Structure 1
Amino acid sequence: MSDRDPVVVAARRTPIGTAGGALRDVTVDELAAPVLRALLTDVGHPADGSAAHVAGVPVSDVLLGNVFGPGGNPARVAALRAGLGDEVPGMTVDRQCASGLAAILAAATAIRAGNGEVYLAGGVESASTAPHRQWPDGTRYTRAPFAPAEIGDPDMGPAADVVAAKAGISRERQDAFAARSHARAVRAQDGGTFGAELVPVAGLIADQRPRSGFTPERLARFRPAFTADGTATAANSCGVNDGAAAVLVVSERVRRTLGVPGLSLTAAATRGCDPNLLGLGAVPAIEAVLQGAPDAVEFTEAFAGQALACLDAAGLDEHTASPNGGAIALGHPWGASGAVLVVRLFSHLVRARRGTTGLSALSSGGGLGVAARWEVVT
């Protein structure tokens, strides 16, 4: 390995809250700050109000994905609130649902370029505290355009129905996938699997969304949520959520100095597809980085039909992806979700030592996809 190869050496997240739930009064910077502090504490360098450093090397930047926040560069606000020192800057990234993973890859690119050796990167979302916006005529601004209207700019839900139909993903298979996601998350939660990665916030110590007793038969009772003859429902789709996740990315040289294991980034890709089929953006990104079958796969389950269509197209086994539940069960805090994938891989591969290779991937608005391949280094 090169001294400049980027390696994740710590990974943390908040419990994921349901919008309007336990984290309803916690702003994005208040969500992210304790996660940033925990990452430094994990490697023995707690933030103390002076310039933050790791193994004598200063933190070069804080990069956080965010989609519906207040503006004003929440990454910088979170860095200051975390006590990293005035000298540590911050940059907020918006690649919609892929923002958290995009921020981590941006930090990795900076390390490879020699711009720095220590970065805090991830994402944060507070759907509960996001400000309401309106157009000059007073009408509610509901979302940003993902593509020019003349090309096609469908909402996420109807687009997921189209993707599932084109891929031939049945309602029954989607409900079974969603039920499995919840069952896995409940089992992991009850078994303490998430404990080492969680940073409690505002009294919340566990993810709010996982539900026991969600069987395929029970899920079959839910009506289509987006189109009259669609297959996506409130039960086999993700929720609207609050949460933050971040990782400490360092150069291989710094990792060796620390003497800790980590996840080395071995390949990454960002790709585009037809915006009308926006849920399939992850497929070309995965194809660009995949080499054989990884030991662990974390894929953001925005919608069961969309997730299954991507996994099928990429040749990945639906039964092995997201082994402790995905976004359908855990929640989908948009700007943070891509970072949640890396936190989960770190727990699975580094903390639990269950394999050596991993893949994190997801689709995002506008027909985009981001994927990254990882390998354990010791």
Structure 2
Amino acid sequence: MELSALKRPGRNPLRPALAALCLAVLAFAGVNLGGCAAPPEAGATAAGVQSAQAPQAAEQALPSWRDGPARQALLKFVADTTRAGSPTFVAPEDRVAVFDNDGTLWSEQPLYFQFFFLLDQVRAAAPKHPEWKSNPAFKALMANDMQALMRNEKQLLALIAAANSGMTVEEYDRTIRAWLAQARHPKLQRPFTELVYQPQLELLSYLRANGFKTYIVSGGTIEFMRPWTQKVYGIPPEQVIGSSQAVKYAVRDGKPVLVRDPKLDFIDDGPGKPVGIYRHIGRRPILAVGNSDGDLQMLEYTTGGDGPRLAVLVHHDDAEREFAYDRQSKVGKLDKALDAARAKGWTVISMKQDWLQVYPAGKP
């Protein structure tokens, strides 16, 4: 799909795929970080927290969760589907759990984290592109003039595509790893991979300890997520499903390589998520966790199968420890999916009420 196709009439906004990311940053004109929450626990890190553990007793599981309806629904579902001889028992091979990433496993405000990376890539590539000096979008980016970026969206998308293409997939992987090692959230001043949710790390580990296979199904690109999901979430790269940029085979310096093209070939958001699940997994999940309207079809698809099913939404209602947003947000909008959850009896996690802590505390 060419980048211009991302804005076809009738297509829903696409989370962090390039066009949606651009629309998000422009909609946040000025990126008002002053409204963000105060920094949470200092020195936290996600690395290693989520490593596989021995099966736990239910009363010991999910220690960062308050013992409310959301925690009980999760524990009951795991118990019902793993109890041998139970009419709701699910064979291990069918215990598939899918999680959105942005806003579900880590934070996503004030912009999807991948977009910060993409803009930094444009800045880093600038010395190789002196012709950009006359580009109005580049001038606006260097001046942090978001109003001007709004007027030059097409040129900005072209800059992002050029800055993130032409390299081999291995080179791009190294670039992402290097960026994550030094980049910091503009308000919270912590590495982005520390801004993952401790309760969700516990849930991922608990599910795996009970025979579930956990997948990420995100609107973000697989290229951006795969370099770090194993270390942070315990989810290997082959279990990451996302939007993807086109690649082509080439031979460079006598070596066969895969080279990135400046176009997207799959959008894993909204109705694309069930398609991505079918293509990559080949099984309908029995548990799905999301946080926005971009996850609605994934939750519907999951609960549309036979047997026990559970759909879960994370509601960001904690402005003190993280961020509070839902129906009116330009990033991670939760509107139609929230109505569906209430109508269909899906489990809604209140970050404020259900989580004892948000981010991991302490260094490894």
Quick check: which one's helix share is greater?
2
Quick check: which one's strand share is greater?
1
Q: TM-score, normalised by structure 1?
A: 0.24
Q: TM-score, normalised by structure 2?
A: 0.24
